[in-house]
Structures are given as structure tokens and as C-alpha cells.
Homo-oligomer: A and B are copies of this chain.
Amino acid sequence: MREDLSMPAAPAIDVDGWVCPMPLRDAPNIVMGHGGGGAMSGELIEHLFLPAFGAAADAGMGDSAVFAVDGTRLAFSTDSFVVKPLVFPGGSIGELAVNGTVNDLAMAGARPLVLSTAFILEEGTALSEIAHVAEALGTAASAAGVSLVTGDTKVVDAGHGDGIFINTAGIGVLDEGVDIRPERAAPGDVVMVSGDIGVHGIAVMSCREGLEFGTTVLSDTAPLAGLVSAMLDTGADLHVLRDPTRGGVAATLNEIARAAGIGVSLEETALPVPAAVRDACGLLGLDPVYVANEGKLVAFVAPADADRVLAAMRAHPLGARAAVIGTCVEEHPGMVVARTALGGTRVVDLPAGEQLPRIC
């Protein structure tokens, strides 16, 4: 995600003496799309945050950081959760807050150890709602095997928050030899996904005010460290792991393609999309490949290792419906090209902004 994601060159715009460093798609203000995990999010980081942070910013400042302390390699990650509504089919902001950060650590190949939890509560929020969310958070932490070791609580006046926002940060440990990062994707790699896609996004949208539609889709929120551990236990050389959350599988594959300077050839018919997700996407005018997941991973694996990694995934409860969805190629570097059901091809772009706001 560190490469230039900007739109075709746009002139810098001077606003009251301040020269906006970003290609402006709209007014010189934050719009919902800046939080979508797509191209606009990348522009905000690349053109505004990183230059502003200056020398203090680590060049790699991504979803998680890996660094060594006294010879021990640690992974460190953070996410804030602003999902709306707070409770949705299959989970709540409590489970997301644990699993989101646990999964960012697991995608670096780390064993998650501890989490911090920081709540921003809006004045007037029912204590019963907070207790429900906190219980879900505690249960998810126990299930993921992480301890909640430190925290913070802030309160903002009514009308300046939205019930409950949660930030978690987490620390994990990397075993020797583990080196999993987007830059390691290489032509020939087999690209897999651990199961059905688009489930979380549709579960949340199904209960959004004004959008209610009947569906049996439950969020797939789950901690993936156990699945990653089973994959590592095969002894395979895992090149890249990534959980396709905001922006879905499309955003994840584009980010990896850009980071590694490779192309991804995607088999559209191989994507495991449940019928209920396909139906709901039809109703909402969405493409499942852009819809968020909270309990799935995408893996890039050297071809010699692909079969045993796929077998290990399928033997794990969270990978039972794992599938090969494509390959890593030398052609069209930085791009994802899908072969469609009709035998044609189409470019699967990085989404610009946000199809589904506040999905996590």
C-alpha cells in the first residue's frame, strides 16, 4: 500500500493559503470514501498522512508492523471500529474489534498475544448496550486466545459520537523464518481464498435502516490465527496472507499486485459466492468481489506448496470452503484481470471510495 495510488495527475489546489497535497476528487474535505479502504484511503495516507508525519513515519506504515526487540520479532497492529449498526446478524462491534486486530497480526504470520481496548462512548448510550458489546468482546478475545491487558475510556457529548466506537491494538510474536508480506508475491504463485466471500458486508447491510431486506446471511467475523497456524504447520513457504475486509477481495488483490509489482489473473467463476450473497448483491447493485469479509483470508503460495496448503485449509473449520481463485502473473503488473463466466476478461479495479460505508 506504499506505492502511488493517486489519480491521473491533478493540480495541487490552494485553499486559503494551504496547498492541498492530494488529488482532490471533491471539496478539500473528508468524504465517506476516504474511509473505504480503496484508492481514496490510499491517497489520504500517501499524500497527506505520510508527508505530514515526516521522519517519524516508518516507511512501511501498513496494516501491521513487524520489528525486532532484543532479537524477538513482534507484530503490532491497530484498527478502530465504527460499524453501524452496533449489532448485526452474526455478531457485533465487540467481535469485530477483537477479530479485526487479531487477523491483522495473523496475516503477518504472528501468534497474537495481547490486545488493548479503547472505547469512545457517546453521552446517553445505554449501559446495557455497552455491557452487551463488552461481553461479546471478552468472549471473542477468549476464543482467539488473546488477553485484554490495557484500555481506555473516553466520553463525548451527545451528537458528537455514535454510541460506541472501539479501537484495539494488538501485539503478536513471529516464529523464526516466517516472512509473510505483500511484496513477496511472485509470478507463478497460486492465489487462494479461505471460503465464501462477501458475507460480512451483506450481513451488516441487511439490517441498515432503510435497506432492510430478508436474508439468512450472518457475518463471518472470526479469528484466523488458528487457520494460519495450520497453514504454517505444513512447512509451506507462504508468500502473502491478507484478510479482505474493506473493499473486499478486489481491494486486497489490487494492493498486493501494486506492492509486489506483479499481476493477478483471477478466475471469476472460481470465487466462492453463496447464493444469498449473490442475490443481495443483485438487489443492492454490488459486486461480491468488492464486499467486505471479516473471517476470510487470501493467500499467495508458491505452486509446489499449493496442494498441501489448500488441504490444510480445508481440514480447518474456518477453511472448509477454501478455493484456488487465480494465479500471480508477470503480465499487467499492478493490475487484477478477471476471466469472466462468459470467457471474456475484465479489469478488476481498486475501488475508488466506499461502496458500503461503516462496515467495520
Chain A interface residues (CB < 8 Å from chain B): 15-16, 18, 20-22, 28-36, 41, 44-45, 48-49, 52-58, 60-65, 67, 69-72, 74, 76-82, 113-114, 116-128, 130-131, 134-135, 137-139, 141-142, 146-157, 159-162, 165, 167, 169, 171, 173, 354, 357-358
Partner of A149, one of B60, B122, B157: B60
Interface contact B28-A67, CB-CB below 8 Å: no
Query: Smallest CB–CB gap between A111 and chain B, Å?
Result: 10
| Cross-chain contact B78 with A167 (CB below 8 angstroms) | yes
| Nearest-Cβ distance from residue A150 to partner chain B, whole angstroms | 4
A141 CB to closest chain B CB (Å) equals 4
Contact B128 A16 (CB under 8 A): yes
Q: Are A157 and B32 in contact (CB under 8 A)?
A: yes
| Contact of A48 with B171 in the complex, beta carbons under 8 Å | no
8 shortest A-B CB distances, which residue pairs?
A: A35-B155, A169-B169, A52-B134, A56-B141, A65-B149, A53-B138, A78-B116, A167-B167
Once A124-B30, A134-B52 are accepted as A-B contacts, the answer to whether A114 and B67 lie under 8 Å apart by CB is yes
Q: In the complex, what distance in Å separates the CA atom of A152 from the CA atom of B20? A: 21
Residues in B whose Cβ lies below 8 Å from that of A123:
29-32
**Sampled A-B contacts (22; CB under 8 Å):** A28-B128, A29-B124, A29-B125, A29-B126, A30-B122, A30-B126, A32-B123, A41-B153, A48-B127, A52-B138, A54-B142, A57-B138, A58-B149, A67-B113, A69-B72, A69-B113, A69-B173, A118-B167, A118-B169, A154-B358, A159-B159, A169-B169
Nearest chain B CB to A180's CB is how many angstroms away? 15
Inside 8 A of A70's CB, which chain B residues have their CB? 70-72, 173
Q: How far is the CB of A179 from chain B (nearest CB, A)?
A: 17
A56 touches B118 (CB 8 A): no
B118 touches A76 (CB 8 A): no
Given A138-B52, A155-B357: A28 and B127 interface contact (C-beta under 8 Å): yes
Residue of B whose beta carbon sits closest to that of A79: B152
B61 touches A149 (CB 8 A): yes
- The minimal Cβ–Cβ distance linking A231 to chain B, given in whole angstroms, is 23
Report Cα–Cα, A76/B67, bound state, in Å: 15
A20 to B: closest C-beta gap in Å: 6
Please pick, from B62, B130, B137, B151, the residue contacting A61 in the complex, using a CB distance under 8 A.
B151
Chain B nearest CB: distance from A337 CB in Å? Answer: 29
A62 and B150 contact, CB distance less than 8 A: yes
A32-B123, A78-B117, A78-B167 given. 19 additional CB < 8 A pairs? A18-B128, A21-B131, A29-B127, A35-B156, A41-B153, A48-B130, A48-B131, A53-B134, A56-B148, A57-B147, A57-B148, A61-B148, A67-B149, A76-B114, A80-B120, A81-B154, A155-B354, A156-B162, A171-B171
Residues of B within 8 A of A61 (CB): 148-151
Whether the pair B56, A146 counts as a contact (CB closer than 8 A) is yes
Distance, CA A10 to CA B167, complexed state (A): 32
Please name the residue on chain B nearest to A113 by beta carbon.
B69
Minimum distance in angstroms from A36 CB to a CB of chain B: 8
Residues on B with beta carbons closer than 8 Å to the beta carbon of A53? 134-135, 137-138, 141, 148
Q: Contact at A128–B15, with CB atoms within 8 Å?
A: yes
Q: A113 to B69: give the CA distance in the assembly, Å.
A: 9
Question: A32 vs B161: C-alpha distance in the bound complex, in angstroms?
Answer: 12
A18 to B130, alpha carbons, bound, how many Å? Answer: 12
